[in-house]
Amino acid sequence: MSRSFSAWKNETLACLVQLERKYKEDEAVKTLDTLIKKLLRLRKRDLSVFLVLLKEASRQVPEVLDLTPSPHEVAEWFREEGEE
């Protein structure tokens, strides 16, 4: 069984906060801060935009690509009813 959208968001938020601490002396902190702010307001329907932001952020912080959900998870999220 894959993670729910909410579980993925929570795990991703925790990882982004850890990365923000790791890169606190780097310009990448601004990028990570932006990702955190976007993630907090993220809805399923806007997931594609957030994934593009992750890809762009990976130029500064390669670890963010590890936060990308699997295609199987995304497909399940969009088959589910309701908006998280």
Domain boundaries, the chain: 5-79
pLDDT at 84: 59
In the structure, what pLDDT confidence band is assigned to residue 71 with cuts at 50, 70 and 90? very high
Angle in degrees, 0-180, between the axes of helices 5-22 and 28-40, rounded to the nearest 10: 160
- pLDDT value at position 83? 58
Distance CA 43, CA 18 (A): 22
Q: Which of 24-28, 35-39, 50-54 has the lowest mean pLDDT?
A: 24-28
Predicted TM-score of the model (pTM): 0.89
